[in-house]
Amino acid sequence: MSKVFTHMTMSLDGFIAEPDGQIGELFEWYESGDVTVPNPNESVTFKVDEGSADVLRDILTNTGALVSGRRLFDIADGWGDNHPVGAPVVVVTHRTPENADRWPRTTFAGDVGTAIARAGEIADDKDVVIASANVAQQALTLGLVDEVCVSLVPVLFGERIPYFANQGGHQLLEDPVVVQGRRAVHLRYPVRR
């Protein structure tokens, strides 16, 4: 059965990026091991430890669509229409780019609910992953998320862009599934209904 889950790499103090969108040391875990995990985007390389490789393989194998916010999409320049997860992307935006045909594997949706629904159609029986903090927050508030996944890294940023700011309500999660990796601990929290 498919699920909708969020996944972000987060600092120990809860941040996912610098104010300008830069990630600092957050993604060091993607280059901290000897196990190469192939992905459809040849410009991205994952060399991780075995625990992290299992986490990445699970995401890469089971994801049928990815939901992103417009800001992340713009920062990544649409991943060249080939996100490393290998699935089509649905972007939440109030303003579709004029050159949207540049990204034929990308769909643009005006709100989070519509984006998640469209991603579910695209994903068919596979999972939908949300890879933007603001979109994840809205989807949690709307009750659209089945699991919250965090790759927690050993760095303290102090003040940056938070993963769960202004969450919009009280949300209980089940006990996590924990995978110890090098430079990251991977946590999967099922959402309590």
The CATH number of the domain holding residue 11 is 3.40.430.10
User: What DSSP line would sit under 138-174, residue for residue?
Assistant: HHHHTT--SEEEEEEES---SSSEESSTT--S---BP
CA dist 124 and 87 (Å) reads 11
Q: Rounded to two decimals, what is the model's pTM?
A: 0.93
pLDDT mean over 143-155 = 96
Domain that holds residue 35: 4-190
CA dist 56 and 58 (Å) reads 5
Tens of pLDDT, residues 83-120: 999 999 999 999 999 999 999 999 999 999 999 999 99
Residues 39 and 84 sit within 8 Å (Cβ to Cβ): yes
CA dist 130 and 175 (Å) reads 20
With residues binned 3-state (H G I as helix, E B as strand, rest as coil), the percentages for the chain, rounded to 5, are 30, 30, 40
Alpha helices in the chain (DSSP H): 50-62, 70-75, 112-123, 133-141
Helical axes 112-123 vs 133-141, angle rounded to 10°: 100
Residues 85 and 59 sit within 8 Å (Cβ to Cβ): yes
Tens of pLDDT, residues 5-40: 999 999 999 999 877 777 889 999 999 999 999 988
Instruction: State how many domains the chain has.
Output: 1
